[in-house]
Structure 1
Amino acid sequence: MMVRFEENEYFLIAMFQKESRQATIEEIHNVIPYIGRDEEMLALINSTLEKLWFLTDEAFLNLDLEPYKEEPVEEE
Structure 2
Amino acid sequence: MMVRFEENEYFLIAMFQKESRQATIEEMHNAIPYIGRDEEMLALMNSTLEKLWCLTEEAFLELDLELYKEEPMEDE
TM-score range, shorter chain: over 0.9
Shift, 1:61, TM fit = 0.1
Q: TM-score, normalised by structure 2?
A: 0.97
Supply the RMSD in Å over aligned alpha carbons: 0.6
Q: What is the correspondence of 1:1-76 to structure 2 with a 5 Å cutoff? A: 1-76=1-76
Three-state SS of the structure 1 residue aligned to 2:4 is coil
Q: Name stretches of at least 5 consecutive residues in structure 1 with no aligned partner.
A: none
State, as a whole percentage, how many aligned pairs show the same letter.
Answer: 88
Q: TM-score, normalised by structure 1?
A: 0.97
Paired letter, 1:47: S
**Number of aligned residues:** 76
Q: Name stretches of at least 5 consecutive residues in structure 2 with no aligned partner.
A: none
